[in-house]
Amino acid sequence: MSKRKQLQTLIRSWKDETGAHEIDMREVAKWAHKKGWPLPTPADPMDMLTKQFTEAAREDIEYDKNTGKPFRKYHAIRAKHGATQLHLFIDIEEATRPQMQASLVMRREQMVSDGVMLTYDQDHWNAAHPDQEPIQLPLDLTFDVELRRAAPDEEEEAA
């Protein structure tokens, strides 16, 4: 059994033992450690620093000089270096069209994957609760995106 499956089994065991319906993963971790589950080896400091730079790049927001609208400065792309697949970042101002298109397609694919899983979750809950009104969430986000784009910026609301 994979480590991930073992962790999932432990979560179910914790739920069975505690009877809890809301799961605090820190409590699960404490419980599992008391039962003998080993604490992980501390992360490599270079991996930790790399992760911090990755998070900082993803959160770097600038504002369009003409519209005042925010945009992400750095975008992830996949690149091959020999047999190794790398995750690189590109500056939106320097990205070539193929790089930017690849990055945007990758993010759109992530949204599609989220939509597929949301639909499976929704369908399962609806089937498991036939006595309740079904939850029906539309996946066409066009209207929602337009509403958010038209909404006042947080800075405008604060003023």
Domain ranges of the chain: 1-40, 41-152
For 13-33, the pLDDT digits (tens) are: 999 999 999 999 999 999 999
Nearest partner of 73 among 46, 52, 94, 48, judged by Cα: 94
Nearest partner of 54 among 80, 77, 70, judged by Cα: 77
Q: Considering the entire predicted model, what is its pTM? A: 0.77
The Cα–Cα gap between 138 and 136 comes to 6
Q: Percentage of the chain surpassing pLDDT 70?
A: 96
